[in-house]
Structure 1
């Protein structure tokens, strides 16, 4: 027994060398092995005799094929799927001797027993199908059997109805290359139409000897071709968006891991889409400069200034680290003591919170900003250095690196500014008429309204970026997230892998966007998705979507089938995976839901409604009916110029008498006949 050459295992399908011949293993039992034999249908050899043979060896053991992509059957017509499943039943009977679903102990039908060779069973199946009117030969059955063993049921389907269409059709590659070059050249140029891009494509081809030999397709074909490489690039749209997409990151959008309030904060400024009454009495715009905490989405401070300067950024930083005190006229529901914030615990550490409003006080550790002069100035840098705050400028032309503050500033226009008189819209196409004649707020009055709106609305509004990782259907408000971080904890999911297991996972069809793939409010991304972003998968039945497999019990990652590269798998991880998501679970929700006493939702809603109503009405006037815009402008300029001194002052009239006289009577103002840009052009003379 010591001389036995026993292999690791002998299974059906192996090829062994025995008795001077290569033989296939047809069946294996506890005592014997059934081998193929050239002279007879089969040969039963005891295991001891097989292992003791001098020339015995397992020639090769083919690796088990991976599970076939059965979910791709969804892309085939119903008739093709039914035909493939019909063939699968017959092929399985040829391979195993029994039809699918046969009861245990069922004997094979005559001609399909495993004591017969595979070739004999294939002949029997061909005869059976031919007798049923299908006219199938034994070679056809063998071909189907091999296709099934290699590709599974998908190999039995007729692929003609779902052939993948070429990405750019039959157009010469040189035309596509020239068109891509023309699109790249137009990134930093002014926006032009598709006609120019096609003309430039022809010029590029003419400039090279190889391109001169290429015949351009018809104009209609070129326009259809142009739509593919320009998809998602804004090549004929917004120049700002086009440059941002072209110069932005090509891989996954990076995100700093944030575990606590203040760990990463972002600052930026933008013109507010509202006219205000400036100090000189003329209507104009102001800039909104704000700071947002990434972990909680809390707007820690926001200031309005005619032009943002470095000192304004420093003031904003100071307001961030100090409490927002309750102001006269604010409803009691806006107090921190009546919010979900842990007021009692914080009050023991900071007595300034006694009369504070419900807005967290957050000390920044890192501030992300762009290269605006106000943020890279010596003044602002000195303030950050004094408070031991790290200042991290973004790359130039990369606004996505501070996307949280960019989105927040845009939300202010949607959620707050549009309710104000003098709202201009985001551009001239959205601007109304006669805005200067409305009752406009002054910058100081508007600042007070904005502060109240942030406390009343923004901090109590559920934020889409503050979803509970364990329950994505739940949304935190900024105040709730700040309170929950005190009790937070996290976990690291266990990774899952294996191609066989992937095929068993449920499949979905999704678009691969710039930011990755979004499934059930979770975002997944990977560097390997770069070639799929905004691209067509080629699966016409699914409208060019990509096949995604996911484990419903593990949200850490998903797998995307690359239909363009031999159906290989690309793994994409959940963007929160490397952040150890906090907070999560019922503990955090219970913590923020049982703070007593707290303002009710109805009280907060009433406060927000009253605020918007008051803001929309504009400032109240104590001088009676509103004067026209010319009178207001003249009065403002007269007031700014100071009291008018009459000529009689030279004869000894006191300055006090002069002031009283000037307050009672104003000099008549005779306007010159000049062009007035503020005059109503539709007014009849």
Structure 2
């Protein structure tokens, strides 16, 4: 049989699967080895990664994983529509599993929603009556069934009332014959000197008269005509716009030990200031903020992120993606810290899942079932909750004023300070009485350099015996986190399906950008591709963002971005100089290149000079001719953090050279207009750490924050 754990299906003993166009039954799971028995008596042993990668692989009788919520679109819906969708989500879960929080939330189902006593149709009928009684309006069983199926297919986005997100028709109810005439008049004016919009009206009137007869089609008013021309004219043909390019085609409580029996069952996340001083970008010194996620069952630190100050919800959401994908090893790390050289056969079997694991660090990768957080605003924000929802992760806040509820992560901070920070210059001690008189003058590492040291130390940590990890057959031997991980995977009896590349892209930070005639312009980098031709200079259908387009970026690899086109899918758009840069680079490396490269010529020439300087820096680092500062900078760059491009990805389209005499700075302003004076780079974060959580009060639903008070 197959069950769903944390919103995602799992494979366990007894399940029937389709593999190689045949049906098999799982008879054993040992590490990454899955033993299958065929219908005719034969048996076969398959590596889990090879089994999942089979094109026809399915779990017979199991629901497919729920699609990742398109959060960039969900937040464009009105607030009232989002609240109602979240309320519907709780009701749908209660109909399906008997509990508003889902199967794994615990508790006793209400009598009318007990799956053991009533059929699904009866539970839907009961829910329709309840929703009608509490003020949802007249709700029928058919409506409940329709909403339930929409949630299975589209996730949270399927529960939104799409009447509130309906995209307006640019031309309204204007006669199609008038629209055709205006488009033809615009085509006739291509290549000619531009006049005014008012001067275009006689031409349109003449076209209508020639085709349909005098007075047959009424010409719209002047205001309507101006609006239609503004909507239909391209950037290069609008009478009031300068053409840049040729026209384009279309209280205190008793301490309770935390127990977890399988990897990923419970992960504790928290943020604190590190006990070491760092040199910030402005030259001042201070203690950076450290956010970590630790697995309770194995004490494995799944992710650790350092920020100068003010950790945001987008950082917490990116932390989830860091847990679910392989963590790459730095080029300067010894081979003993790589997954390919580990002595644990269970961890070596993971390398069959993805070729990136050949160069990955020897530390676990997992999609958690439950995340325990405190009541910090970044963890109670809609951004973090939405990222957890897309992965089927349950978020459980701790009771107020109860640090022992997540004592494991609190103790881990002490371990990091004791084993790493006290050996670094600028160590502050645990309090002011332990601080040396010259701690500020000793500080010499930047936040990025401390992150690099922390990443390498974490690999050593996973190979270090932990006194809290014991195996029942070896009670006197302390195991390492990696050894405990391998031991628990072998006895858990299931293998969670791995996170797909598209899911990872949905979790990346989002910014809203315009598509100009040259492509997408971000921080002196131009991203362009032939697929953008029909959308150059055109507004996005998402009117809630002022016509800008939803762009996903990877802060660890700036060689490409992903844009959501009208088909709803994320399309990769490469940097126009990506073929010249064969190694990933992050924003810190790019800012260093911009600092040392003088500007000569126009904008295109300057961008090419930046790309060449970046390539030369990476070549010097590979040939060991780089300076000590450059080597430290380049080893901080996290390689291969994004999924590889699709096989059918076309060659990027590179715009032609810019004419001399143009004002490059003004063009940059046109490409990336900032909506907020405080956002000088034009970036708009869609994940706001200040958002308050959407309450579930007033509907009689399960509230995890209220449940935490009963711990």
> Which one has a bigger Cα radius of gyration?
1
Q: TM tier, shorter chain?
A: 0.3 to 0.5
TM-score (norm 2): 0.38
